[in-house]
Structure 1
Amino acid sequence: MSISRRGLLAAGAGVGLLTACGSNTGRSQSGSGTQLSQWYHQYGEAGTQQAVERYAAAYKKARVAVQWRPGNYDQQTAAALLTDSGPDVFEGSPTLDQIQGGQVVDLTDLLDGVKDDFNPAVLKPKTYDGRIWGIPQTIDMQLLYYRKSLLKDAGVEPPTTVDALVDAARKLTTPKTKGLFLGNDGGAGVLGGTPLYAAGLQLITEDGEIGFDDPAAARVLTRIHQLYADKSLLLGAPADWSDPSAFLQGLTAMQWSGLWALPQVQKELGDDFGVLPFPKDGSGSPAVPVGAYGSAVSARSRHQEAAKEFVRWLWVDQLDDQEDFALSYGFHIPARMSLAKKATKLKTGAAADAVAFTTEHGFAQPLLWTPTANTAYQDALTRIIQGGADPDRELRALVRKVSAELARVKKKS
């Protein structure tokens, strides 16, 4: 199975365990010199594998063997971290259980002097108890695409509030074109906590408490259901939200998708499109969900210091390689804000807008938002959007479930 970086944003951070991961890990069992095994998930973007192999070959202080891992990568990695035959360095997002269980190495010192250059939205989920457990590689983000000509013909302004989004989607819906595409499930799968952040709320607060126990949460989710009830949403499209084909084929006037779709949209529509963050609701502000795999070191590695030194070399020092990785084989934002600012491909038009949205309004799923909490929230969101369930009742039940989960993880810390 070949997946792209967009998978970071399409689901929660749930990680299970496999009973085995295979024996070809890339670690040296004999011979002289330090050999490190570095794991990546199998990207769907041509040239990425050759690029990371080239980076590894250029490193002179150790022999780095790249392992390109097909299949359910997160499950493979979770299982491997419990053994002595897993990777030294791996691409991923260390989970709370992995950090609390001592399965990954503290990398805080690698960012001495450069920490402030990493986008804080994606560095935060790699941080626990004041320590950094993964170095962000690139940023993926979601945004709202809209067709300028269709909005102009309907006399609709690009929506900057949730109420305006609901009204615009209704006005843009015709017998041939729906107003908005949030995915074939009506948005329950992809939106996640985005509407809550747009309402000025959070999933988990900075001090580790529930951040959506507020009437504003019910209000904004009611408005999201209204999109479904108005039949303004495109459902049953040939491809889901991550693919811009529904937008390009004129099946929808607006679509929620990812930055990765921008080159294709620009190629086919020219200047006849614009991009926006998710609109604000009430006293909130626009919201932009972001995600980033990071580079981490296994606590089972026999060469932890050598592994850390390699991670520093590649993901802190090698700025040209970091920009190359982000923009030469797909369309992503470098995790370093200075690189994002100077990258030629991100300086103008919708790409520049996307970088600004990420810097000003970006948020990532909190580390304390566990798979259990995420599943409970997704189930509630589905019932609200598709079934018209009472948001107040659903949110009260959700608060109880998430409170119990927070108590569990805090007890382990």
Structure 2
Amino acid sequence: MSATSNSTWSRRSLLRAAAGMAAAGSLAACGGNTGRGGGSGSGKNLVQYFHAYGEAGTEQAIKRYAAAYRGARVSTQWITSADFESKLFATLLTKNAPDVFEFHPQIQMVRSGQVADLTDLVAPVKDDFNPADIASHTVDGKTYGVRMIDDPQFFFYRKSMLDKAGVRVPETLDELIEAAARLTTGKVKGLFLGNDLHAVINPMIWSAGADTLNAKNEIAYHTDGVVDGLKKMRSVFTSGDLLLDAPTDYWDPSALNQGLCAIQFCGMWAMPQFQKALGDDWGVFPFPKVTAAGKPSVYNGGWSMFVNAKGENVDAAKEYVKWLWIEQKKYQEDWATSYGFHIPPRTSIAASASKLKTGTPAEGVRLFNEFGHFDNIGWTQAMITALEDVFADCVRKDGSPEAALDKADKAVGRELKKLFG
């Protein structure tokens, strides 16, 4: 599901919290629970952590699933989204640590021994998962975490606004910049990329024909195409056609729904809200290619379930995760499609998800399948921050892209040496 649609929570801030604590060695502290109970099961008491999703009904759904489990008493901590990362990683260091929690794949949590190896849970159904979801949770041949939902991100646009301005759906970054200019009027900006622009960093790299890291875990983003992309991003940032300082960030559909812009970067989770507000007057397209050698890209976010390897009930927690996120397909489909729209990571469930079969949701699935890129578990928060600094230096400011990338190379190189030698 979306990060939220009602807070300032950021996936990047969550990762920053995780990486910072892991780097300091803090995650080596022991945790467990103290018999806190809930639910209607028997045996062990388990606690699971979720951040407060923006979609109505999500908290009730998670608690309903847990209440149906008979192997343990499962209670849910539904944590205010703005506080989720600090609460999760602070609590992981104490005796009140959750047994199960949602997060994103991060190699530091594997290397610190914080998350349990779930290979035995996933192995029997591995072929039913999107292979990229398996790869993004795998370290040294072992799988850590079970993917719950895939969240592709696109550009959403108002069809009527493009038609009125005589603008076709952009297929290149140059065309997107031109469209933003033609769509900007006195009250409406042509384009919204999020308040800090961070959501489009990786898509821009992929659409320039590059990547964050290559298969050998070497720097792959420092290319001529990325330099060209940074220059183009600087031009749109200074054009006056970009919506800046919107009331809510990119994950919330209100910028487009309220007529603040004509094109907005957002996620598939918001499709029901777009449908409710705009009817059929909206569409989606991928991040367009940056250079002739590039191709469109779609970033796939999402959430996964992890077991606290330092808890007192690891085996019981693994059984619960197996029951809910491996065996209970009806709950998995409900979680993916009954609130916001998300793509089930299980291909058999995705194939039967009727709400994603027609219209713009089906187009989103097609773009995801054709152009999707997933998280690299070895791409750490320090590396993320290094590229955020690149955008700060030469998109928000008028610095040299080459100099900014050289600076990033040093920071990323230090991380790669620590992680991979």
Assess same fold via TM > 0.5.
yes
Give the 3-state SS of the residue equivalent to 1:333 in structure 2. Answer: coil
Change in CA separation of 1:305 and 1:272 when aligned onto 2, cut-off 3 Å: same
The one-letter code matched in structure 1 to 2:194 is G
Q: Which amino acid aligns with 2:145?
A: G
Alignment of 1:43-58 (within 5 A): 43-58=53-68
Shift of 1:69: 3.0
Using the TM superposition, give the Cα deviation of residue 169 of structure 1 relative to its aligned residue in structure 2, in angstroms. 1.5
1:386 paired residue number:
396
Contact residue 209 and residue 295 of structure 2 kept, 8 A: yes
Distance 1:407 1:12, change over 3 A: farther
Instruction: Tell me if the contact between 1:8 and 1:292 (Cα under 8 Å) persists in the aligned partners.
Output: no
Give the alignment partner of residue 350 of structure 2, picking from 340, 359, 368: 340
| Paired residue secondary structure (2:151) | strand
Which position in structure 2 is the counterpart of 1:198? 207
Looking at structure 2, the residues matched to 403 and 259 of structure 1 have their Cα atoms a distance apart, in angstroms, of 34
Match of 1:360 in 2: 370
Q: Residues 158 and 262 of structure 2 are in contact (CA less than 8 Å); yes or no, is this contact kept in structure 1?
A: yes
Q: 2: CA distance between counterparts of 1:364 and 1:25?
A: 36
Unpaired runs of 5+ residues, structure 1, are none
Equivalent in the alignment of 1:4: 4
1:266-314 deviations in Å (ceiling 9; x for gaps): 2222222210111112212211112222111111233322221221111
2:294 is aligned with 1:294: no
Q: Structure 1 residue 374: deviation in Å?
A: 1.3
* SS of equivalent residue, structure 1 residue 367: coil
Indicate the SS of the match to 1:13: helix
SS at match of 2:201: coil
Residue 144 of structure 2 aligns with which residue? 133
Residue 24 of structure 1 deviates from its aligned partner by: 7.6
In structure 2, what is the Cα distance between the partners aligned to 1:312 and 1:325? 16
Residue number in structure 1 paired with 2:270: 261
Are positions 1:208 and 2:217 aligned together?
yes
Give the match for residue 101 of structure 2. Answer: 90
**Structure 1 CA distance for aligned equivalents of residues 14 and 91 of structure 2:** 20
Identity of aligned residues (%): 44
Report the alpha carbon displacement of residue 107 of structure 1 after superposing the two structures with TM. Answer: 0.5
Q: Does residue 1:280 correspond to 2:289, yes or no? A: yes
Count residues in correspondence.
405
Q: What's 2:74 paired with?
A: 64
Find 1:13's aligned residue among 5, 12, 15: 15
Alpha-carbon distance between aligned partners in 2 of 1:25 and 1:260, rounded to the nearest angstrom: 35
Relative to 1, partners in 2 of residues 1:47 and 1:149: Cα closer, same or farther, differing over 3 Å? closer
Contact 2:66 2:74 (C-alpha < 8 Å) held by counterparts: yes
- Match of 1:169, as an amino acid? A
Of 166, 174, 184, the residue aligned with 1:155 is 166
More deviation, 399-408/297-306: 297-306
TM-score, length basis structure 1: 0.90
Deviations along 1:214-256, one digit per CA (max 9) or x if unpaired, are 1111011111111113222122333332222222233322111
Matched, 1:400 2:400: no
The answer to whether the 8 Å contact 2:4/2:252 transfers is no
TM-score of the superposition, structure 2-length normalised? 0.88
Question: Would you say the 8 A contact 1:94–1:296 is kept in 2?
Answer: no
Query: Counterpart of 1:326 in 2: which secondary structure?
Result: helix
Is the Cα–Cα contact under 8 Å of residues 43 and 71 in structure 2 kept in the other structure? no
Query: Which of 52, 73, 79 is 2:84 aligned to?
Result: 73
Deviates more, 1:103-112 or 1:9-18: 9-18
**Cα distance, 1:343 vs structure 2:** 1.0
Shift, 1:27, TM fit: 4.1
Task: Give the superposition deviation at 1:184.
Answer: 3.1
DSSP-derived class of the 1:396 partner: helix
Q: Which residue of 2 aligns with 1:329?
A: 339
Note closer, same or farther for the CA distance 1:161–1:303 as it changes in structure 2 (3 Å cut). same
Specify the alignment match of 1:38 in structure 2: 48
1: CA distance, partners of 2:255 / 2:43: 53
Q: In the alignment, does 2:166 pair up with 1:164? A: no
Specify the code of the residue in structure 2 equivalent to 1:306. A
Root-mean-square deviation (CA), in Å?
2.7
Secondary structure at the aligned position of 1:192 is classed as helix
